Amino acid sequence: MDKSEKLSRLRQQLFQRFYEQKQLLQQLADSNAMVLGSFYYVYKTCSKANCCCKRGKRHGPFPALSQSINGKRKLIMVKWNDEAVVKKKATEYKRFQKGLKHIREKQKETEGILEKIRILLIEEYS
């Protein structure tokens, strides 16, 4: 394969990455409201000495939101009335974060393609 064919293929790859990035950016820009954290259910033990939770049958499940702020885990208990909304917003946050990860991956691929194009286009001056 000669230089012009390689350049043509690399340019096609570049524009394909551009199209994919554009779609990802549009999806992220059109995101819904979200809350920071992961939604899940927790089981708890209480402080009563004779409670069944002391023998392994813990209380729950209770809806909760786990957040990581400055490297520290924080657990926020969610009100039952807010469960569906918080769960939906936490799911939206997770989707948004995955989208950001994909954009970063596509950006690295794009930079790699551009580097290959640069190498092919450099000519030595004498």
Q: Which residues contact 103 (CB under 8 A, 6 or more apart)?
A: 21, 24, 25, 28
Each residue of 102-111: pLDDT tens digit? 999 999 999 9
What ranges do the domains of the chain cover?
3-121
Q: Is the pLDDT of residue 47 over 90?
A: no
Determine how many CB atoms are found less than 10 A away from the CB of residue 7: 14
pTM of the predicted structure, to 2 decimals: 0.81
Each residue of 54-73: pLDDT tens digit? 888 899 999 999 999 899 99
Each residue of 15-33: pLDDT tens digit? 999 999 999 999 999 999 9
Q: Is the pLDDT of residue 126 over 90?
A: no
Q: According to the model, what pLDDT value does residue 54 have?
A: 81
Distance CA 126, CA 121 (A): 16
Each residue of 80-96: pLDDT tens digit? 999 999 999 999 999 99
